[in-house]
Amino acid sequence: MKYSGFNLALQSLFKHRGWQPAWRAAEPRKAYDVVIIGGGGHGLGAAFYLAKYHGITRVAVLEKSWLGGGNTARNTMTIRDNFIYPDSARFHREALKAWRGLSEDVNFNVMLSERGMTTILMSDRDLSDARRMINTTAMFGAEHRIIGVDELRRRLPLMDNSERFPVVGGVDHPEVTVARHDAVAWGYARAASRLGVDIIENCEVTDIVLDANGVAGVETSRGRIETRKVGMAVSGHGTQVAAMADVTLPVETCPLQAFVSTPIKPVIDNVVVIRSLNTYFLQTDKGELVMGSVANPYPSFSQQGSSAIPERTLASILQLFPAFERLKFMRQWAGILDLTYDNSPIISKTSTPGFYVDVAGSGGFKTTPLAAKMHADLIAHDRPDPLIEPFSLDRFDTGRLILERASYGNR
């Protein structure tokens, strides 16, 4: 049933008893044209676009626990395009634009809110880095601009001056957007399911079956499934899953943390980034402040993260925003990211025919619709779109890295 004002009014006449589950709980079939491993935003999105744009509907999405329970649930919702290198600036610019119209596309409100971002600059180096970013991204149509201290103070009235790092200016990023992260997974799942995709939860892939022609199927906790094409869209366990297909990924698994305060009245309407101190925060629609920082300095699968990072992050934010001093924190979490050496994603074919990867987004929520679209296109045509060619796996052999420092995983 379509979600619409009309159907809402209609259902209200029947006390809302007529709504159907958003997606079918499918049983695994014997064989599929394509199997997607990972039921997060990226995997469900890829399945949706395979069905929508490429007419491939014999698709299964295999998720080892519940939908959107990985990093789709563990991120800070921010969709930004302030990248430094042309390849990633172009890609993230397109990724930001790909969010527009997503709600209509999947007929599910992902609560897109173009609230903008403000970066606080505290040194000449910050300023010149910001100019470089602005010039690079302007080539692809982005609208970031430098703002002076006065305008910055008008936008962030709670900001104090820092004795140690005086504020020298800011950057206005008017197009930076936030979205309801869980809704992205649910919306894609529902839309894909309506197009005939099988979404199979609690189904862990235990092995990938290979023959002389490449991928021949997958072994799962719910039996064997035959397929010639597998798209991997997992985070945190990319190394382990790719190894099943005899592919070595140059990724390391690191926790990235965020923490959430108790809800307060609206105090900031932007995402705020403090560049020199490597921290950022935003206020959710519910009023909580969400704060985050850099990835852990050592790899780990623990989903915990070092306590030194929250300590440093909070100290940094309080230095500039002493008004938050008495806030209480409700929760802290860490998602585990697959990080590449160059902090750029890998959306690529691999040395195993029929095995494709969309991995290592280094905070890949922001690229979900575009990466999923490109992944689907790659699976359907077995060749990369020019937009994702630079993000191929063989860049680590050719040395053409995209050493992106604008990523939260930055090391």
Partner 1 sequence: MMYIPCPHCGHRNADEFVYGGDSDKRRPENPEEVSDAGWSDYIYSVPNVKGVAEEYWRHKRGCNRWFVIQRDSRTDRMTQCSGN
Residue of 278, 306, 319, 410 interacting with partner 1 (CB under 8 A): 306
Residue 66 makes CB contacts below 8 A (sequence gap 6+) with: 39, 201, 202
Q: How far is the CB of 337 from partner 1 (least distance, A)?
A: 12
Regarding 71 and contact with partner 1 (CB under 8 A), the answer is no
Residue 135 vs 351, nearer CB to partner 1:
351
Residue 23 vs 391, nearer CB to partner 1:
391
End-to-end Cα spacing for the chain: 47
Regarding 400 and contact with partner 1 (CB under 8 A), the answer is no
Regarding 315 and contact with partner 1 (CB under 8 A), the answer is no
Whether residue 342 contacts residue 85, with contact meaning beta carbons closer than 8 Å, is answered with no
Give the C-alpha separation, 22 to 106, whole Å: 12
Residue 102 vs 277, nearer CB to partner 1:
277
- Name the one range near partner 1 by CB under 8 A: 8-16, 147-155, 168-176, 299-307: 299-307
Q: How far is the CB of 242 from partner 1 (least distance, A)?
A: 10
| Residue 86 identity (one-letter amino acid) | P
Regarding 253 and contact with partner 1 (CB under 8 A), the answer is yes
Residue 198 makes CB contacts below 8 A (sequence gap 6+) with: 24, 26, 27, 28, 29, 32, 59, 60, 61
**How many residues sit close enough to partner 1 to count as binding (CB under 8 A)?**
24
Regarding 202 and contact with partner 1 (CB under 8 A), the answer is no
Regarding 293 and contact with partner 1 (CB under 8 A), the answer is no
Q: How far is the CB of 64 from partner 1 (least distance, A)?
A: 14
The SS3 call for residue 327 is coil
Regarding 410 and contact with partner 1 (CB under 8 A), the answer is no
- Name the one range near partner 1 by CB under 8 A: 47-55, 148-156, 186-194, 302-310: 302-310
Q: How far is the CB of 253 from partner 1 (least distance, A)?
A: 6
| x-or-dash string of contact with partner 1, 210-239, rule CB under 8 A | ---------------------------x-x
Q: How far is the CB of 397 from partner 1 (least distance, A)?
A: 5
Residue 393 makes CB contacts below 8 A (sequence gap 6+) with: 247, 249, 346, 348, 349, 350, 357
Q: How many CB atoms lie within 10 A of CB 162?
A: 16
Phi-psi sector, 406: left (phi>0), alpha (psi -120 to 50), beta: alpha
Give the C-alpha separation, 234 to 7, whole Å: 35
Whether residue 35 contacts residue 202, with contact meaning beta carbons closer than 8 Å, is answered with no
Cα diameter, the chain: 66
Q: How far is the CB of 331 from partner 1 (least distance, A)?
A: 18
Regarding 333 and contact with partner 1 (CB under 8 A), the answer is no
What are the tokens at 400?
Answer: 């053409």
Query: What are the CA-CA distances from residue 306 to residues 204, 274, 298, 334 (Å)?
Result: 29, 21, 9, 9
Whether residue 346 contacts residue 391, with contact meaning beta carbons closer than 8 Å, is answered with yes
- Name the one range near partner 1 by CB under 8 A: 65-73, 84-92, 260-268, 390-398: 390-398
Residue 176 vs 251, nearer CB to partner 1:
251
Phi-psi sector, 60: left (phi>0), alpha (psi -120 to 50), beta: beta
Give the C-alpha separation, 46 to 364, whole Å: 14
- Name the one range near partner 1 by CB under 8 A: 46-54, 119-127, 305-313, 381-389: 305-313
Nearest Cα neighbor of 95 from 290, 344, 411 is 344
Residue of 250, 333, 405, 410 interacting with partner 1 (CB under 8 A): 250
Regarding 341 and contact with partner 1 (CB under 8 A), the answer is yes
Give the C-alpha separation, 146 to 172, whole Å: 6
Regarding 65 and contact with partner 1 (CB under 8 A), the answer is no
Residue of 172, 252, 288, 377 interacting with partner 1 (CB under 8 A): 252
Q: How far is the CB of 228 from partner 1 (least distance, A)?
A: 26
- Name the one range near partner 1 by CB under 8 A: 143-151, 164-172, 363-371, 394-402: 394-402
Regarding 206 and contact with partner 1 (CB under 8 A), the answer is no
Regarding 104 and contact with partner 1 (CB under 8 A), the answer is no
Give the C-alpha separation, 92 to 86, whole Å: 10
Regarding 278 and contact with partner 1 (CB under 8 A), the answer is no
Provide the binding-site residues for partner 1, judged by CB under 8 A: 237, 239-240, 248, 250-253, 297-302, 304, 306-308, 340-341, 396-399
